[in-house]
Amino acid sequence: MNWLKYLVGLSAIIVAGCAAYFSVTGLGVLFAGASLSVMVMAGALEFAKLVAATYLKQQWDTIKGFNKWYLAISVATLMLITSAGIFGYLSNAFQQQNLELQKVERDIAVYQTQITKNDTEIARYTTQLTNQQNIRNSQESNLSKQIDKDKSTSRVTQMIKTADKEITAVSKRIDELTIQNNVALDSINSIKNNNIQLEREVGGFRFVAEAFNVPLNDVVKFFILIIVLVFDPLAIALIIAFNGLIMKRKEEDDLSDWDATLGDGLDELMDENYKDYEVYGDKKRREDLLAEMMKNDQELGLYDEPITLSEKDSEIFFNEIENPSEPNEQLVNAATQYNEDIKKNEIDSTTKSVEENEVTLTEEEKAALEPEITDEILMNLQTDYSKRPIDYDGDGSIDGYDTDGDGIINIVRAEHPSRAAAIKDMLPYYAKKSFNWDDRRNWINDQNAVNYWIKNIKPSQYPTDFSGKSY
């Protein structure tokens, strides 16, 4: 059963840790005005919730009165708070995607509106072109009749020229509108191609929404609600189950320790001398043996008051050995305490030995052990063109994303316009003039800094040809 205990414990830690992370982060998003303070408070409450659940499970029978029910109600309330934080975190995550998707849809809608407007214009101009062509054909017929009658054709000829000009102008306008539509269609296709990943991320929810003919937001809320209903309750249930397994194992260990302690005592009693006493019926020797044992117990403080031994007591004692009854609580507790003391001494001894052998390195020694970062290593660095998050102020929150691989935010991630405006004027630590690029260990492991170095620093400071020895 040990593997089950450890498996349940590991699952409890993982689920509770994930629930705490999502809850703390979600509450920080919900209370963005004081996100750090709220996250610290939420983290403390999450830890207290797990401790309270453990305490209630292990001490339920001993806790009395108001404290028991207050702790139980507090744990239930904290579960609701955790669930609300998880809901806020997941909702915010979807909204980030949804906002980007809405922006894409708005951009496409602009081009679609232009195409619709141009199509209307094209239809109108097409009708006008048809009318002008009919007029021209009619005038050409009149011209033929005027020629047959030897009459003046100047007026008809002028009308034909005017119709030709109108036809040319209308045809040109139709061609311009057609070109605009083609450009708009190309722009729409380009937007869709650039956001294939975004469509893939939201596509599952959209398919479900279309299949059941419900709004996309309702589908997402329902799915998040299902996760919330099972997330933190499962974490608490696993914590309780883990504590139950620990308590069961402890009871088994206590019983085994008692059996071992009692067995050791019986082995000492049943030595060769005792066997001789029993065989030959030497009651005096048996009483002396019992008296010596009780004297030792009194010296250990096992008895509150001195005990006077009688012959009847001796008979009762040895009869108990031959026909033992159920162990008393005091004996079990004594055996348990003895074994715990032994284990504690072993742990303390091991810890002391490790601490005595532990070696502490200075910062200079640690730096000397790190590998040297050569110029050739720098020149082999590669730009990461993926969508990378950037934290300008180092507060642990994402301020925006770099999409072109230059180490600078292109897409600002801020809920308030003032914050977005501030981010646009900010620079990361590696883009400031005072930053020391010669301290390579300070930035070599930051891909955003590497991208900025390749884009802005590398071309001006470092060669590109390593074929020679002098560079």
pLDDT tens by residue, 334-382: 667 766 777 666 666 655 554 555 555 566 555 555 567 777 787 788 8
Which of 329, 357, 385 is at the close of a domain? 357
Do 60 and 179 reside in the same domain of the chain? yes
Evaluate if pTM is beyond 0.75: no
* Residue 98 forms part of a structural domain: yes
Q: What is the pLDDT of residue 301?
A: 59
Give residue 12's pLDDT band: very low, low, confident or very high (50, 70, 90).
confident
Which residues, at least 6 apart from 91, have a Cβ–Cβ distance to it below 8 Å? 220, 221, 224
Rounded mean pLDDT of 237-243?
Answer: 87
Do 340 and 392 reside in the same domain of the chain? no
Do 31 and 125 reside in the same domain of the chain? yes
Do 145 and 294 reside in the same domain of the chain? no
Q: Report the distance separating Cα 441 and Cα 369, nearest Å.
A: 13
Model confidence at 278: pLDDT above 80: no
* Residue 346 forms part of a structural domain: yes
β-pair partners for 411: 401
Q: What is the pLDDT of residue 273?
A: 47
Mean pLDDT of the chain: 75
Q: What is the pLDDT of residue 360?
A: 59
Q: What is the pLDDT of residue 449?
A: 86
Q: What is the number of other CB atoms lying within 10 angstroms of the CB of residue 80?
A: 11
Burial pattern 98-130, b for ≥16 Cβ within 10 A else e, equals beebeebeeebeebeebbeebeeebeebeebbe
Model confidence at 311: pLDDT above 50: yes
Q: What is the number of other CB atoms lying within 10 angstroms of the CB of residue 66?
A: 8
Q: What is the pLDDT of residue 161?
A: 78
Q: What is the pLDDT of residue 73?
A: 92
* Residue among 79, 72, 92 nearest 30 (CA): 92
Model confidence at 269: pLDDT above 60: no
413 in helix, strand or coil?
coil
pLDDT tens by residue, 387-410: 889 888 777 788 888 888 888 888
Give residue 277's pLDDT band: very low, low, confident or very high (50, 70, 90).
very low
Do 217 and 152 reside in the same domain of the chain? yes
* Residue 217 forms part of a structural domain: yes
Instruction: Specify the range with the lowest mean pLDDT, choosing from 215-219, 318-322, 400-404.
Output: 318-322
Of these ranges, 262-276, 326-340, 438-452, the one predicted with the greatest mean pLDDT is: 438-452
* Residue 100 forms part of a structural domain: yes
Q: What is the pLDDT of residue 354?
A: 47
Which of 211, 239, 267 is at the close of a domain? 239
Percent of the chain with pLDDT over 90: 2
Model confidence at 56: pLDDT above 80: yes
pLDDT tens by residue, 284-308: 666 666 677 666 666 665 555 555 6
Do 388 and 335 reside in the same domain of the chain? no
Do 224 and 303 reside in the same domain of the chain? no
pLDDT tens by residue, 17-54: 888 888 888 888 888 888 888 889 988 998 999 898 88
Q: What is the pLDDT of residue 124?
A: 86
* Residue 244 forms part of a structural domain: no
* Residue 367 forms part of a structural domain: no
Model confidence at 275: pLDDT above 50: no
Q: What is the pLDDT of residue 44?
A: 92
Rounded mean pLDDT of 237-258?
Answer: 72
Structural domain boundaries enclosing 380 = 372-461
Q: What is the pLDDT of residue 361?
A: 57
Do 336 and 438 reside in the same domain of the chain? no
Which of 332, 357, 382 is at the close of a domain? 357
pLDDT tens by residue, 111-167: 888 888 888 888 888 888 888 778 777 776 766 665 655 555 666 677 777 877 888
Q: Report the distance separating Cα 211 and Cα 138, nearest Å.
A: 57
Do 204 and 329 reside in the same domain of the chain? no
Give residue for tokens 């292109």. 410
Rounded mean pLDDT of 418-435?
Answer: 81
Do 451 and 381 form a contact (C-beta atoms < 8 A)?
Answer: no
Do 203 and 70 reside in the same domain of the chain? yes
For residues 85 and 272, the model is more confident at 85
* Residue 245 forms part of a structural domain: no
Of these ranges, 10-19, 86-95, 243-252, the one predicted with the greatest mean pLDDT is: 10-19
Q: What is the pLDDT of residue 470?
A: 42
Which residues, at least 6 apart from 335, have a Cβ–Cβ distance to it below 8 Å? 254, 257, 258, 260, 261, 262
Rounded mean pLDDT of 95-123?
Answer: 82
Number of structural domains found in the chain: 3
* Residue 362 forms part of a structural domain: no
Q: What is the pLDDT of residue 427?
A: 85
Do 183 and 255 reside in the same domain of the chain? no
Do 61 and 160 reside in the same domain of the chain? yes
